[in-house]
Structure 1
Amino acid sequence: MAQKRYGKDYKVQAIKLAKEIGINKAAKEIGVAPSTVNGWVKAAKEGTLDLGIGIHTPDSALSITEELMTLKKQVKEQNKEIKRLKEENEFLEEASAFFANRRQKLVKTRE
């Protein structure tokens, strides 16, 4: 079964509706599974779903501590990805040098 994609605006409106009338009622009204709407609400609270400027109220905005924790988590994940990419790049450089050297040896033996 193909997974249906929803646009940012649709999700924002669904989250607003869920906050007003509740997740289950909102899900039923828009024809989406409650777990999907719940996931969007949770992602918005965690800051992983960008809702745009002016969407958060003081009640729904992250506290400074929560935002700091989220940013630290993102930095940690990005540092991990940078390390992995550097290791891959190093490996590719070594492999490239190996094959270039081997090719030079083949060319010399043919001469």
Structure 2
Amino acid sequence: MQYDKSFKDEAVKLSDEIGVKAAAAQLGIPYYTLSGWRNNRKKYGNDYLCGSGHKRMSAKPSEQRILELEKENAELKHANEILQEALGFFAQRRKK
């Protein structure tokens, strides 16, 4: 079953107040599901509810910077490929 972010956040807050087992029983969700959300919060901080299919950003600034640079590098490689293809096209056209 899919749960939205606000439900997950409120469930984790409730589990902080009354305990994981009690909160899971009160909300009608499996204990291990709520426990997993709490473990993710402990591991990733505020970004523990990134959502399905989304890449979770690291809490460390150095790791975030590396990810930004990798993304920029990929964009520049793609732009370089486009420019090389254009150069080949114009060079071929000039020979005619």
What is the TM-score of this pair, normalised by structure 1?
Answer: 0.60
Provide the residue aligned with 2:74 in structure 1: 88
The 5 A counterparts of 1:37-56 are 37-46=34-43, 47=45, 48-49=47-48
Residue-by-residue CA offset, 1:30-86 (whole Å, 9 max, x unaligned): 121212211222334452348xxxxxxxxxxxxxxxxxxx85x2x122111122122
In structure 2, the CA distance between the partners of 1:4 and 1:106, relative to structure 1 (3 Å rule), is: same
Code of the residue aligned with 2:2 in structure 1: it is: K
Structure 2: tracts of 5 or more residues without a match: 50-57
Q: Please tell me whether residue 30 in structure 1 is matched to residue 27 in structure 2.
A: yes
TM-score normalised over the length of structure 2: 0.68
Q: Superposition RMSD on alpha carbons, in Å?
A: 2.4
Amino acid of the residue matched to residue 18 of structure 1? S
In the alignment, structure 1 segments of 5+ residues that lack a partner are: 51-69
SS at match of 2:29: coil
Q: How many residues align?
A: 86
Is 1:109 the counterpart of 2:95 in the alignment?
A: yes
Higher Rg of the two aligned structures: 1
In the TM superposition, 1:12-23 aligns within 5 A as 12-23=9-20
Match of 1:5 in 2: 3
Alpha-carbon offset, residue 95 of structure 1: 0.9
Distance 1:93 1:109 in 2: 25
Q: Distance in 1 between matches of 2:72 and 2:17?
A: 47
